[in-house]
């Protein structure tokens, strides 16, 4: 207990402490600061320029290691002045969350689909400034006759300002190239389902520590600029996939069209999308409290669908200006010029503003739909099995065995079955998951 003589000293110590606390990085947790007064300078590691302007790039608090790399988290510390004493301090939560994500890195899976020669590979390379396709071999016509639609995956790790992204591009070579293209989207739909199934297994499994998320977050569908809007293949593809993946339609090779032609095509395509009931990816609505500029941008975005894009891997120089573009005798098409094409809009949407939302919609809507359907079909099998057992009085296993084509059932039987399914689904979801698990993990 403090003795009377010590009282003044304690206060003195307290004063110095307060001063130093004021000078320090207000974010530095107190246990990491050496408890000695007068060491404001030796507080290594935390930003020396802390007390200055707000928008400085920050080191996360750790005064013990001077050589820590800079954090990519360049938002300013919420407690950047001395009044932090008044606050509880949990406004650092978003920073804490994101520190972990930054360490882990992000992932994103993008699918590109469309006929050959529409510039898919070039666009992908342009979007992410990579060179994913440099070793590919293009097939000629004879080879393509017997080609089936493949699904190929390329993965690339991209890092910018300390943020790591594992980007996976899923390509669909051969799509729409054959003479008879019936159901050529089937392998694409199957691929997407397989990724969902894999995730479902992992999620229902026992060890969930390092689940890999290979679900397709977005599908860029390339529409040919040479038609009059959507072609039957386009419609069928999009309808087959619109409930499995976020579809973003793209008007390819837009440099073959004049601005008027582009506008007309866009309007026509939007009409047809609506007419055929195709559910493309919807941009979320703006909050009412967003600023005007944001709202304006959002509106423009919505009205640009389908994005008229041009891709280019080459940098050309014109009159001293260096641009990425395509060189024609009649001029240079600049990829990053919004007057020339919607490339910038697409890239911003995909990477800078809507990447998280694309992942969210995939996870919360498409995947959940798949999962619910999956469970439902499992339930159906369980009910059928149960009924079969009732009839034959066999002590069959609880295990749902995939059966042959179902015997046709009467109306009443159907109602009974549906009621059974409902009951099962409501009362024992857990044992169901076990069955799912057993089936998958066997």
Partner 1 sequence: AQCFEFPLPCYSSPISFSFINHLVDFSYVGIDAILEQMRRKAMKQGFELNIMVVGQSGLGKSTLMNTLFKSKVSRKSVLATSQEKIPKTIEIKSISHDIEEKGVRMKLTVIDTPGFGDQINNENCWQPIMKFINDQYEAYLQEEININRKKRIPDSRVHCCIYFIPPTGHCLRPLDVEFMKRLSKVVNIVPVIAKADTLTLEERDFFKKKIREELRSNGIDVYPQKEFDEDAEDRMINEKIREMIPFAVVGSDQEYQVNGRRLLGRKTKWGTIEVENIAHCEFAYLRDLLIRTHMQNIKDITSSIHYEMYRVRRLNESNTAVTQANGIPEHHLSAHEM
Between 131 and 190, CB nearer to partner 1: 131
Between 240 and 316, CB nearer to partner 1: 316
Between 181 and 204, CB nearer to partner 1: 204
> How many angstroms separate the CA atoms of 263 and 214, rounded?
36
Between 106 and 276, CB nearer to partner 1: 106
Pick the binder of partner 1 from 398, 409, 418, 423 (CB under 8 A). 398
Q: How many angstroms separate the first and last alpha carbons of the chain? A: 66
Residue 42 has phi, psi (to 5 degrees) of: -80, 5
DSSP state of 83: G
- Verify binding: residue 382, partner 1, rule CB under 8 A: no
- DSSP secondary structure of 185-219: THHHHHHHHHHHHHHHHHHHSS--TT-------EE
Pick the binder of partner 1 from 15, 143, 271, 300 (CB under 8 A). 15
> How many angstroms separate the CA atoms of 437 and 88, rounded?
45
Within residues 329-358, the interface with partner 1 by CB under 8 A covers: 332, 336, 347-348, 351-357
Q: Least distance (Å) from partner 1 to the CB of residue 290?
A: 10
Rg (CA), the chain: 29
Residue that is written with structure tokens 């689909």 in the block: 113
Cβ contacts of residue 215 below 8 Å, gap of 6+?
A: 109, 192, 195, 196, 199, 362, 363, 366, 367
- Verify binding: residue 366, partner 1, rule CB under 8 A: no
Between 165 and 280, CB nearer to partner 1: 165
Draw the binding track, 48-87, toward partner 1 (x: CB under 8 A; -: no contact).
-------------xx-xx--x---xx-x--xx-----x-x
Q: Least distance (Å) from partner 1 to the CB of residue 155?
A: 15
Q: Least distance (Å) from partner 1 to the CB of residue 49?
A: 21
Q: Least distance (Å) from partner 1 to the CB of residue 369?
A: 10
> How many angstroms separate the CA atoms of 224 and 253, rounded?
8
Contacts 24+ apart (CB under 8 A), 60-63: 60/95, 60/99, 61/25, 61/27, 61/28, 61/29, 61/32, 62/32, 63/25, 63/28, 63/32, 63/33
Pick the binder of partner 1 from 49, 54, 67, 88 (CB under 8 A). 88
Between 160 and 285, CB nearer to partner 1: 160
Nearest to 390 by CA among 415, 420, 412: 420
Query: Is the backbone peptide bond immediately before 306 cis, with ω within 30 degrees of 0?
Result: yes
Between 261 and 423, CB nearer to partner 1: 423
Between 19 and 271, CB nearer to partner 1: 19
Residue that is written with structure tokens 């860029």 in the block: 220
Between 175 and 199, CB nearer to partner 1: 199
> How many angstroms separate the CA atoms of 141 and 149, rounded?
15
Within residues 163-192, the interface with partner 1 by CB under 8 A covers: 163, 165
> How many angstroms separate the CA atoms of 186 and 176, rounded?
12
Pick the binder of partner 1 from 55, 299, 327, 401 (CB under 8 A). 327
Between 144 and 166, CB nearer to partner 1: 166
Q: Least distance (Å) from partner 1 to the CB of residue 61?
A: 7
- Look up residue 144 and give its two tokens: 């393509």
Q: Which residues pair with 322 in a beta bridge?
A: 317
Q: How many residues bind partner 1 (CB under 8 A)?
A: 100
Q: Least distance (Å) from partner 1 to the CB of residue 133?
A: 14
Pick the binder of partner 1 from 102, 240, 286, 416 (CB under 8 A). 102
Pairing outcome for strands 163-171 and 106-113: parallel
Three-state SS for 106-173 is: EEEEEEEECCCCCCHHHHHHHHHCCCCCCCCCCCCHHHHHCCCCCCEEEEEEEEECCEEEEEEEEECC
- Verify binding: residue 427, partner 1, rule CB under 8 A: no
Within residues 193-212, the interface with partner 1 by CB under 8 A covers: 204, 206-209
- Look up residue 17 and give its two tokens: 């402490």
Q: Least distance (Å) from partner 1 to the CB of residue 151?
A: 25
Q: Least distance (Å) from partner 1 to the CB of residue 227?
A: 31
- Stretch of 161-169, 219-227, 297-305, 381-389 contacting partner 1, by CB under 8 A: 161-169
Q: What element of type H or E holds 279? A: none
Q: Which residues pair with 321 in a beta bridge?
A: 318
Pick the binder of partner 1 from 91, 145, 299, 415 (CB under 8 A). 91
Q: Least distance (Å) from partner 1 to the CB of residue 187?
A: 29
Draw the binding track, 297-326, toward partner 1 (x: CB under 8 A; -: no contact).
----------------xxxxxxxx-x-x--
Within residues 215-254, the interface with partner 1 by CB under 8 A covers: none
Between 187 and 204, CB nearer to partner 1: 204
């Amino acid at each position: 207990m403090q003795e009377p003589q010590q009282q003044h000293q304690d206060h003195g110590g307290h004063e110095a402490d307060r001063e130093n606390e004021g000078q320090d990085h207000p974010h530095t947790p107190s246990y990491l600061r050496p408890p000695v007064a007068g060491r404001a300078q030796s507080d290594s590691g935390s930003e020396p320029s802390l007390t200055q302007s707000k928008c400085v790039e920050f080191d996360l608090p750790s005064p013990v290691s001077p050589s820590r790399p800079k954090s990519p988290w360049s938002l300013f510390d919420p407690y950047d002045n001395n009044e932090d004493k008044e606050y509880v301090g949990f406004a650092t939560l978003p920073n804490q969350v994101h520190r972990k994500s930054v360490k882990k890195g992000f992932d994103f899976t993008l699918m590109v689909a469309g006929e050959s020669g529409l510039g898919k590979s070039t666009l992908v390379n342009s979007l992410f400034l990579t060179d994913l396709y440099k070793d590919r071999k293009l097939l000629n016509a004879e080879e393509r006759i017997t080609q089936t639609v493949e699904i190929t995956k390329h993965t690339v790790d991209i890092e910018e300002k300390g943020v790591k992204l594992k980007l996976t591009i899923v390509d669909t070579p051969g799509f729409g190239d054959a003479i008879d293209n019936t159901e050529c989207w089937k392998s694409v739909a199957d691929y997407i389902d397989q990724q969902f199934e894999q995730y479902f297994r992992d999620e229902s499994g026992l060890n969930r520590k390092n689940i890999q998320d290979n679900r397709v977050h977005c599908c860029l569908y390339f529409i040919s600029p040479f038609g009059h809007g959507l072609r039957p293949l386009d419609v069928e593809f999009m309808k087959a996939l619109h409930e499995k993946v976020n579809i973003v339609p793209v008007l390819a090779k837009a440099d073959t069209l004049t601005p008027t032609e582009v506008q007309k095509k866009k309007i026509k395509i939007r009409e047809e999308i609506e007419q055929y009931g195709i559910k493309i990816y919807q941009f979320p609505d703006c909050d009412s409290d967003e600023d005007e500029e944001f709202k304006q941008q959002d509106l423009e975005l919505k009205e640009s669908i389908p994005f008229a894009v041009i891709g280019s891997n080459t940098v050309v120089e014109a009159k001293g200006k260096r641009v990425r573009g395509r060189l024609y005798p009649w001029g240079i098409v600049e990829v990053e010029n919004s007057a020339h094409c919607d490339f910038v809009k697409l890239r911003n949407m995909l990477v800078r503003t809507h990447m998280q939302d694309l992942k969210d919609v995939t996870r919360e809507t498409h995947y959940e739909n798949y999962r619910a359907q999956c469970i439902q079909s499992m339930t159906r099998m369980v009910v059928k099995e149960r009924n079969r057992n009732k009839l034959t009085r066999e002590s069959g296993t609880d295990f749902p065995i995939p059966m042959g084509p179902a015997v046709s059932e009467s109306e009443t039987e159907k109602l009974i079955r549906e009621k059974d399914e409902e009951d099962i689904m409501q009362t024992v979801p857990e044992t169901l998951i076990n069955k799912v698990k057993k089936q998958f993990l066997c």
